[in-house]
Amino acid sequence: MLKLGPRRMKLKRSKTPVKLGRYHIFIISLVIFLVMNVLGVIILSESIKPALMELAQTEAEQAVIYAVNYGLSDRTLKEMRHDVDFSKENIITNEDRFIHKSFDKDGEPQIITFNGLEIQQFITRRTEKIQHFLRLIENGKISISHDEDSIIKFNKKPVGISTQVPIGSVTKINLLNNLGPNIPIHFEVMNNVETKLKQKIDRVGINSSHIQLSVQVRVRVRVVMPFMTKATWIDHPFPVVEETVRGKIPKNYQDK
Q: pLDDT tens digit string along 31-80?
A: 888 888 777 666 666 767 777 777 778 878 888 888 888 888 877 787 77
DSSP alpha helices (H): ranges in 139-231? Answer: 168-171
pTM over 0.85: no
Those residues with Cβ within 8 angstroms of residue 253's Cβ, 6 or more apart along the chain or in another chain: 206
Please tell me whether residue 210 adopts helix, strand or coil conformation.
Answer: strand
- Give the model's pLDDT for residue 20: 64
Q: Give the residue from 154, 163, 118 showing the smallest Cα distance to 136.
A: 154
Residues in the chain, pLDDT under 50: 2
